[in-house]
Each structure stands twice: as structure tokens, then as C-alpha cells.
Structure 1
Amino acid sequence: MRAFPLVHRLLAAFLAFALTLVVPPATARASIGEPAPSATEIPAGTDATVAVLPLEVRGEVSDADRALLERNLVEGLTRGAFRVVTPQDVAAAVGETGPCKEAACIQEAAKKTHATHVVTGIVVVEDRDYHVELALHDGASGARIVRTEEGCEICGIADAGELVATAAATLRTKLEALARGPSRVSIVSEPTDAVVTIDGEIAGTTPLERELVPGKHVIRISKEGHISVEREVTLVEGAQESLRFTLEKVPSRLPKRPWGYASLAVGIAALGTGIFFTALHDRPYKIGNNCQGQDVDRRGNCRFLWDTKWYGMAGVLAGAALVTLGIAVLLNTAGAKGRRGKDRKGRRSKKKAKRSAYRPDVGIGLGSLTVRGRF
């Protein structure tokens, strides 16, 4: 009867020894395994896409209000189909570096947080006025992709938080559109070398090709001496859009070329008439039977004289003004005609274009003649 308990004890000891060989202790496994990641560590290879840098606040804002603004920013972005790295995680991964404005700083933040895009933000506080500016940057190049601004006057921190959330939603829409693939737009204008402004930012001069995020964009074409043209376009992801703009010249305040010839001819005639009447003043009036008999004194002076001084002066002034106007019209229309020929044919040489640039610009005013140009 006593042998069975002994056998049972030996069997239990053997099983316990076998288990110690098969299953290692939990403490030993923890000591030789990889350490658990911390809460602020961003592991590589995850779906993290957007890294939100700490907001740059200019003005009197408490730490609690700053945290509220950053929380609204993160919430506005997290509604999208991508992961957001919070400002606290970015600060833990990158460190306290202050405002991050340079491309190298943005690239470093993207690299250390394994993000493809980086969001920077500036909040300016003046009394109770808030101005919010957010920008989305490409993590690989550090270049800014899109910027959005919001502002309010005489508002509280809750209103400012809503501004941040609205601006973040705009960036989220742009980022989701980028995920679907950018659109490419080609812009040409007549005449060329016109300044292209896209969504309020200068993009270059025509002809221009550029990738834009899908959606609505406001494109403005402007050139000195021409009427600016603005158009709102809606771009579809992955599509190629070609836009052509024709700029009209600013209407000249001078008449057309035929009126220049007419003004010149009438002016010359009036000028000659004025000179003639000026020279005729105080001469004997010998028309008809005047200056005969009793109309002549003992010295031979006629009692009747021409009184045409004021008519002559009026003719000279009017003639000079008409001649000046005619010359101004002919010079200006000649320059416009040459420029139209250049824009239409496109075959004028640089030497001729340079001579055209030195053409004087003539204008008239009240009692003045103005000539502008490089001589």
C-alpha cells in the first residue's frame, strides 16, 4: 500500500523536471527578448503618413490653449484614410528644435517619424484676433505642396480651435486627392511670358506645366499692359488639362491711327493760319475803297488796320496742340502695330525687338508734351 504513494511522488518529480526542460521560465524569456516599444516610438514600416509638427504660436497663449489647438488639428486630420503622428510623438522622435521652416528640417522630421508628409502650422494671436496658417509638405523633398489660411476677429480659443480644425480638413482633402494621383495642367497664353498665379501664389510664367492636386483651383494670368484673366478650373485626378488664355491689351486713351493723320493735317493748317494772322496784325486794311482819300493821314498811314493778333495766337495754339496730338497718335499706334506683328508672326529678331523696346512713349497734357523712353 505504501509503494503507490512512492511511485506517485517519483512520477510527479519526473514530470516536473521534464516541464522545466521544455518550457523556459517567463523571466528568462523577458530578459533575452526584444524590449517593448515605448509609447512615443514610431516603428518603421507602419502606415504612418502625416507627421504633425508642434504649432508655432505667436502671441499670448497658455499651454492648455496650445494643447487644445493641436488636438483640434490632429482631430481634423485623423478623419482621413491615413495615420497621423501627433505633435507629441514628433517632438519625442525629433526633439525640441524650435520652428521647422527649412526643407532640411522637414525632411529630418519625416525621416525620423517614417512619414510621407509633414504638416506645419502657425497661429498668430493679437488681442482676441486669431490667424491660422497650415501647410502640407512633401516628406521626401521638404517642398510645400499646399497652404491654407483661416482667420477670425474678436473670438475665443474655442473659435480658434474650430479655425484650426477647418484648415486641417482642407489639408486632409488635398492629401486624399494626392493619394488618388495628381493632375497635370498645361497653361499657355497669347502673348507669352505672362505671370501665372495659382490659388493666390505665383507659379511661374507661360508656357507652364505643373502637377496640382485634384479639385478646384483659381488660375490668374496677368501681364503688364494687358487685361488680367482669372478662371476657376476643376481638375480630375490623373487627368491632363490644357488651358489657353488670350490677354487683351489695355485700351489706349489715344485715337486710332487715321485720326492721327487727320489731327496732324488740321494742325498744320491751323498753325499756318495762325502764323499768317499774327503776321497780318497792324497792317493796313486795304480791302475795298479803304486807305484812300480821307482814310490816309499826312504821313501816309491808313486809318484802318488789321486787328488779327488774338485770332493768330488762337490758331497757333490750336495748331500746335493738334500737331502734337497727331504725332503722339502716330508714334503710339506705330509701336502697337509693330508689337502686334511680333505677337502674331513670332518671327521678329531680338535685335528688332530691342529697338522696339527703345521706342519713345509720347503723351500730351494741358500745356505740356511728355516724351518717355531710353535713349
Structure 2
Amino acid sequence: MTTTFDPEQLQTALEAVHQAGVPGIVAEVRDRDHIWCGTAGVADTATDGPVTADMRFRVGSLTKTFTSAAILRLVDDGAIGLDTPIGDYLPESVPGERGSAITVRMLISHTSGLHEYLPYAYSSLAAFPNVAQTTPDSLADNRFTEFHATDLIAMGVSAPATGTPGGHPGVYSNTNYLLLGQLLESVTGIAAEKFITREIIERAGLRDTEFPSGTSITGPHALHYESWFGMFEPPRDFSVYNMSFVGPAASLISTVSDLNHFYSLLLAGDIVSREALEQMQRTAPVVSFEGKLIDYGLGLQRTTLPDSGIHWGHEGSVWGAGAISLTSADNTRQLTLAVNLQRWNRLDGSGRPQPHPIDEALHTVIRLAL
């Protein structure tokens, strides 16, 4: 079968990402039944060990699509109502009028108005949104901190609202997805991560995708280098980390191959029903952590590219690692890439991230792949 992408061009583009400053990058491109996987750079800057196609990465907020799909499976079964107030399920977590006004749908779509908890959980870190005030050592100080979802949710719920329930634009908040984890546990009687593993990961046949059972990544993996806007020089490895601070919002470990397979199945209607998938693809504007407007549905982002139209997927970032997965609207073309460096942009005097050659290099990979 003839493909519409050039493997040599793609490999050159990956090398350009590495040359621009990313230690290592892995990408898998699928054009119907044709699969190409490329790598560039190193998994460990001390040993120069290369990244390999099978390496596992923490994929951050791509976890949200898995959590959303688990909720939608229960919606399909009639166990959860998308437009039921969260206070009906979790009255102690979101009490009173807010619990009556915020629906399950609003949580999944980030239109609940609930504040992000991270500035409060990492009080010494001030991770979001005051990144300019972050001290480099504060990330390391919390490397092994064990957080509890109930405490984190309370921080987000008690913080000033970012908007009215159901209002637009929504504001991206991990508080929403920790509540969805509580909802899964309340309805199913088992931990959210176990339910997502059984109903989504195992059902999809994803052999290299899992929630962490400890602070380390099992299996072949790259080290995860965090620059924190140039405050770590050189960038520091944070691949060993307690991910309880994000849980079912952003703690998943996976590979580029597994992620392409998952999104292909999801968009084919093989993970949730066609009716549920239609709900996932109803989008509204949401303000991201970076202050950008994204087109967000129920755990799915819609990205429109100039030369290739609409794509569905998600982006993710944790300390030292990031991933992007995009699938064309007709489910024939896919790209998933993972990198082992994050927050490479320096900040200007007002605390805004400045352009970096890595940004353009990654855009070139996306354009050529899709």
C-alpha cells in the first residue's frame, strides 16, 4: 500500500527535535495498515543510551481520555447519568448548591468552575499558575510525597471558583478528574485505577499501559528530564516520582504504540458506544494551564490542522515527560509522540513562556506525520 508520508522526512524531523534540545523522542505514525516508528536521541544523557521504540513514558493528561472512557462505559450501562449532579453521587466532596449545579458532564469537560488544586497541594511549589515563582528544589522536595485524593479535592473545591458551572470558556482543572476517580470508586466499589485497567486497558489489549504501582517506571523507559523553564540547568531527571498528586487525572504509563491502538479503537466505537463517543466529541472552549483556548469535549481534544483537517486526541505533560496523540477524524491516520524533556521554554519578565526551536521542530513532525 502506498503511504502519504515519507519515512526519511519523518526521521529527519525527529532528529531536528533532538538537535533543538530534546534528549530523546519516539514517534509512531499509522496510515491505515502501514505503521512507521522512529526514534532520535538518548534515554539517558549520562550514558548516551538511545531511546527505543518500545520505551515506556509517563504520558500525563492522556490519562484523562482513559478515565473519561471508563465513565462513559458506565453511562452506557445506565449506572451513571452524564447530566446528573455530582452532589447526588458525592455529597460530601461537593456539598450544597455547587454539588447540585455541577454535573458529571461538566467535570469531564472542564466546565465545572472548580479550581485546580496543585497550587494548594504544592504550597511551597506554587506550580500553577505562578510558575515564575517556583524554586527548582521544590519539585525534588515532593518527589516521594504521598497525596490523598480526598485532601486534594477539598483544596480545589474550597478554592475560589474559576467560573459558573457550565459556563464557557471552561478552565482546565485536575480537580475535575480526581472527582471522576471518586465517582468511579463510589459506583463500582473498586479503586478507579483498577476499574480503568479492567474495563479500558485490558479490554483494549494494551500490554504496556498501566497505572504506577510505586514511584518507578517498570520495563524499558527513558529518564524524564525537567527543565522547569530553564530553572534546572542542566535539566534534572524526575522519572522516579510519586504520582499520587494526579492519580486518574494524569499518572498513566504507556507507549506510543499502545496509545495509537487505544485511540483507534476508541474512535471506531470499540471502547464506548457510538452514542457515548458522540458525546465525547461535543466540544467547547477550555482555557488550558498555559492560558490557551483548546477545543475540548469529554476527555478528548479536537485539533484542526491547516493541511489535514480535524484530529482527535489529547496532550499530556508531567515532570520531565510529555506526549501527544492525534487521530484523524476518519480514523485512518495517526501520530503519537513522546519526549523526555518538558518546560524547555524560558520565561520573559512577565512570566510568559518564550518561543523555543523545539516548538517549531515538533510542529514540523506533526505536519509531516498527519
TM-score (normalised: structure 1) = 0.18
Bigger proportion of residues as strand: 1
Q: TM-score, normalised by structure 2?
A: 0.18
Greater helix share, structure number: 1
Indicate the structure whose relative CO is greater, using CA pairs within 8 Å and at least 6 residues apart. 2
